[in-house]
Amino acid sequence: MPIAADDPRLTSAFSASTARYDDVPFARAGASGIRLPRISLGLWQNFGSGRTLDSQREILLHAFDRGVVHVDLANNYGPPYGAAESTFGTVLDSHLHPYRDELFLSTKAGYDMWPGPYGDGGSRKYLMRSLEQSLTRMRTDYVDVFYSHRVDPETPIEETVTALADIVRSGKALYVGISNYPADLTRRAHELLAAEGVRLFVHQPRYSLFDRTPEADLFPTLRDLGVGSAVFSPLAQGLLTAKYLDGTVPADSRAADSRFLDGSALTDDYLERIRGIEGVAREAGLSIPQLAVAWVLRDPVVTTAIIGASRPSQVDDAVHASKATLSDDVIAALEPFAAPVGAAVR
């Protein structure tokens, strides 16, 4: 819907930096016509009730000013569920609305969202109703890409894919993607979407120095199909930082309060690996997180790395990493401390 000339959203105090496209490089997503910033901002864990709106707004606006124009969400990001989309919607409405056409927004549905049999999975009802709710929370009439967040073994993939195709035809998403799908079902989803006249745009897998599972089958499949990838958890939920080098859990760390990571991850094997990675990073003139992000971006099949941020400086670190080129010697030096090819460190 067009914005009236006197709409207060057009008089927001925010004026984007004129240099916002000077830093972060962009890469084409597979064989599509879309280029994404090599760094994307994910709102998985830092945009719920535990953070103030002011701090969340600061990160979002700073990221936009650095050219990080791809913002990744899901219906149940929070906590509570829906909180991240609502927070983003507030900032979009108050500050970023004039820049909507410069933003590339994604959201997802697939995991639990509301009670009962229709609030989870890959059914047509769940995907379509979830997207409607997401658009309301995000205060926008469309997203740029909508994902099936996971394979639902209880729903035929044909039903999921037909719903995705119809969502594109409705104009409520411009592109569709899948996340956490294995290689064989990725190929099947691509085939079914093509039969509907819709291209599979992007896949979102977990990928880091500590989880190289996609290298076995998924990445070769994406190269073959011409599908982009937006990898999440490039810092392995914070394990690829200097926070845990001494083997303890700082009170302000993710391992202290996250349901996805706790102190049990700080095994002797982990400490040996992270200390080895820290040595390679020091020699390369990078921090551990910068090295970890640059490493996942070394392969052209990776279109963008989705980072989480609890402060603006973490966005800056990732943007710096996106411009780093790792030498063959640095990549080789990391091998003893990384997960084996096609596997994950547990």
Given the structure tokens 């509907």, which residue do they identify?
196
Residue 250 has pLDDT above 80, yes or no: no
Residue 255 has pLDDT above 70, yes or no: no
Mean pLDDT of the chain: 93
Per residue in 102-117, pLDDT (tens digit) is: 999 999 999 999 999 9
Show the tokens assigned to 170: 């409705």
What's the topology of domain 33-337? TIM Barrel (3.20.20)
Residue 9 has pLDDT above 60, yes or no: no
- Using CB atoms within 10 Å of the CB of residue 153, give its burial: 0 to 12 exposed, 13 to 18 middle, 19+ buried: exposed
3-state secondary structure of 70: strand
pLDDT category, 71, cuts 50, 70, 90? Answer: very high
pLDDT at 10: 46
pLDDT at 12: 61
**Mean pLDDT along residues 256-270:** 68
Residue 28 has pLDDT above 80, yes or no: yes
pLDDT at 162: 98
All residues at 6 or more sequence positions from 44 whose CB lies less than 8 Å from its CB, including other chains: 72, 74, 77, 84, 232, 308
Question: Which H/E stretch holds residue 341?
Answer: none
pLDDT category, 263, cuts 50, 70, 90? Answer: low
Given the structure tokens 């990549």, which residue do they identify?
331
Higher pLDDT, 248 or 1: 248
pLDDT at 251: 54
24: left (phi over 0), alpha (psi -120 to 50) or beta: beta
Strands 104-109 and 200-204: unpaired
DSSP 24-36: S-EEE-TTSS-EE
**Mean pLDDT along residues 119-134:** 98
pLDDT at 13: 78
The residue extents of the domains of the chain are 33-337
3-state secondary structure of 248: coil
pLDDT at 99: 98
Q: Between the CA of residue 190 and those of 8, 112, 149, 184, what are the distances in Å? A: 43, 25, 15, 10
Higher pLDDT, 31 or 265: 31
Per residue in 17-26, pLDDT (tens digit) is: 999 999 999 9
Alpha carbon dihedral 298, 299, 303, 307, in 10-degree steps, equals: -50
